[in-house]
Amino acid sequence: MTFLEEVNRRRTFAIISHPDAGKTTLTEKLLLYGGAIHLAGSVKSRKTNKHAVSDWMEIEKQRGISVTSSVLQFDYDGCRVNILDTPGHQDFSEDTYRTLMAADSAVMLIDIAKGVEAQTKKLFAVCKERGIPIFTFVNKLDHFGKSPFDLMEEIENVLGIRAVPMNWPVGINGEYKGIFDREHNTIELFAKDETHGQEKLESQKGSVDDPIFKELIGEELHQALIDDIELLDVAGDAFDFEKVRSGELTPMFFGSAMTNFGVKPFLEKFLELAPSPAPRKALEETVEPTSEDFSSLVFKIQANMNPNHHDRIVFMRICSGKFEKGMTVLHKQSNKSIRLSQPQQFLATERTIVEDAYPGDIIGVFDAGTMGVGDTLCAANHKVTFGDFPVFPPEFFARVSPKDTMKRKQFIKGMTQLAQEGAVQIFEQQLSLDSYVVGAVGMLQFEVLEYRLKNEYGVDLLNHTLPYSVARWVDGDVDPTTLKGLDNAMVVKDNRERTVILISNEWQMGWVQERNPDVTFLTTPKLH
């Protein structure tokens, strides 16, 4: 296969949904139909709808499992499919947002009974902003739920995107028997699920006009279906590929992940419509996936996947060029050459060493601590810097130090590694060597920090909450001692030695700005 063919057959996407909509189940069924697993139920679910920290600990215990499901890859109909797994809990949304940076499209999963929920809305907004195509899968069709017409309206009203049904449920709400394919005018009736969704489902498919279907579903329901379809044809949006690509229209599918109903038709149509790897903006140029020069974006870092080894895996999405095992690339941010040895790929239930990979693929490599989330790797003779990575301004601050001063070395190591993962941001205050100031986007991150330092580095943490909620980066080369009005603020340095002001609220910050009219204060650091 040529390089171009390899690029074009990639489909890299994430499933976005509110917890409990069925993401784990659908992911598993896609793997079942993709032949990556043979019996559903072999990928353990990571339930995240209980108390957040205990869940995190649970994930922690199952590290091996949560890690192997960071990205799932399988082949189907000539496509190489990469599913990016996003954590389900709201408190980890920062992680989720970052993962979306690695996707070329998203599947928005909606519970037929619940419709568009809070978390769906937030994640949708991120996808919309990135301009990636969004496909909708309405799940739990085996249950009673909202009418498909009402759901279309809800999607439009709540999310501001028009939906175009690619198929339509056949039968009675709560007891749907199959789906109608609008493109081919066919009905597919699914057999009763006898294996609790463990195995693929049998179905019977044919033209909507075939009298057998009238007989199977009854004349009345058949007529109701014909009426619905006529209404859709007349009043609904026509399918428009360009609008889908630009994120203005979402193709809508119906099914039940649990019973496998509608999963295969969804998968096939989705792979047909979903985009292959898209060009990506760098500061220097737009990087085409078909460019033969290698480039990749680090979107996730996980330390201590194996707690006994203190290893650290950097996950990157290949954006252009072919990746080959052992190749040497430039780490743009440090300007260092890095050899990518032992690259890993994560399949459904195992990890394997990859020999080569193409744009759209995700690989994980071991790294001793050079790389951070958002960083770029590229060919030394073709430098690019990806810059659209979201940075979230911290809103909670604390001073942390080890309870036992003898543990200082482990403390520093742990803090440095966890900060590189993007779990927290660390700041240093001059004159204070034994403690750090840490900033986080949510309170939960402090608890996780404490837990992980103890478990992974054996350090008990002293944790003092600081009374600040605003961080501002001082732009340019300003001597911090010349800044005025900082009586109630703290001046710290971030990990790249940039001056940051921590202050209690926006109002006070406004006051500082007034006193220092020539200084620019930024809400997020400049990337480069």
Instruction: Say whether 525 counts as a known binding-site residue.
Output: no
Instruction: Report, in Å, the least distance between residue 494 CB and ligand GDP.
Output: 35
Instruction: Say whether 89 counts as a known binding-site residue.
Output: yes
Lookup result for tokens 């994930």: 59
Instruction: Say whether 23 counts as a known binding-site residue.
Output: yes
Instruction: Report, in Å, the least distance between residue 419 CB and ligand GDP.
Output: 29
Distances (CA, A) of 13 to 121, 187, 440: 18, 28, 28
Instruction: Say whether 488 counts as a known binding-site residue.
Output: no
Instruction: Report, in Å, the least distance between residue 160 CB and ligand GDP.
Output: 23
Instruction: Report, in Å, the least distance between residue 266 CB and ligand GDP.
Output: 12
Taking CA 468 as the corner, what is the angle to CA 467 and CA 471, rounded to the nearest 5 degrees?
Answer: 165
Instruction: Say whether 86 counts as a known binding-site residue.
Output: yes
Instruction: Report, in Å, the least distance between residue 45 CB and ligand GDP.
Output: 5
Cβ-Cβ contacts under 8 Å for 249 (sequence gap 6 or more): 161, 162, 163, 164, 237, 239, 240, 243
Tell me the Ramachandran region of residue 104: left when phi exceeds 0, alpha when psi lies from -120 to 50, beta otherwise: alpha
Question: What are the two backbone dihedrals, phi and then psi, of residue 409, each rounded to the nearest 5 degrees?
Answer: -65, -45
What whole-number distance in Å separates Cα of residue 105 and Cα of residue 16? 10
Helix (H) or strand (E) holding 164: strand 162-165
Q: For residue 468, which of 497, 429, 439 has the smallest C-alpha distance? A: 439
Residue closer to ligand GDP by CB (options 21, 244) is: 21
Instruction: Say whether 205 counts as a known binding-site residue.
Output: no
Instruction: Report, in Å, the least distance between residue 59 CB and ligand GDP.
Output: 13
Tell me the Ramachandran region of residue 262: left when phi exceeds 0, alpha when psi lies from -120 to 50, beta otherwise: left
Residue closer to ligand GDP by CB (options 193, 428) is: 193
The distance from CA 289 to its chain's CA centroid, rounded to whole angstroms, is 20
Residue closer to ligand GDP by CB (options 54, 341) is: 54
Greatest alpha-carbon span in the chain: 85
Instruction: Say whether 462 counts as a known binding-site residue.
Output: no
Residue closer to ligand GDP by CB (options 62, 513) is: 62
Question: Which residues form the interface with ligand GDP (CB under 6 A)?
Answer: 17, 19-25, 45, 88, 139-140, 142-143, 256-258
Residue closer to ligand GDP by CB (options 140, 280) is: 140
User: How many of the other CB atoms lie within 10 Å of CB of 79?
Assistant: 20
Instruction: Say whether 307 counts as a known binding-site residue.
Output: no
Taking CA 370 as the corner, what is the angle to CA 369 and CA 375, rounded to the nearest 5 degrees?
Answer: 120
Distances (CA, A) of 485 to 393, 427, 492, 503, 515: 22, 21, 15, 11, 6
How long is the chain?
A: 528
Instruction: Say whether 41 counts as a known binding-site residue.
Output: no
Question: What are the two backbone dihedrals, phi and then psi, of residue 89, each rounded to the nearest 5 degrees?
Answer: -80, 145
Residue closer to ligand GDP by CB (options 17, 320) is: 17
Q: What is the DSSP letter of 450?
A: H
Residue closer to ligand GDP by CB (options 46, 454) is: 46
Instruction: Say whether 88 counts as a known binding-site residue.
Output: yes
Instruction: Report, in Å, the least distance between residue 267 CB and ligand GDP.
Output: 15
Instruction: Say whether 87 counts as a known binding-site residue.
Output: yes
Compute the Cα dihedral for 222, 228, 229, 230 and give only its sign.
positive
Instruction: Say whether 66 counts as a known binding-site residue.
Output: no
Instruction: Report, in Å, the least distance between residue 202 CB and ligand GDP.
Output: 17
Instruction: Report, in Å, the least distance between residue 436 CB and ligand GDP.
Output: 35
What whole-number distance in Å separates Cα of residue 455 and Cα of residue 155? 43
Residue closer to ligand GDP by CB (options 21, 490) is: 21
Cβ-Cβ contacts under 8 Å for 361 (sequence gap 6 or more): 10, 12, 73, 80, 82, 317, 318, 323, 345, 354
Residue closer to ligand GDP by CB (options 88, 364) is: 88
Query: Which residue numbers belong to the known binding site for GTP?
Result: 17-24, 85-89, 139-142
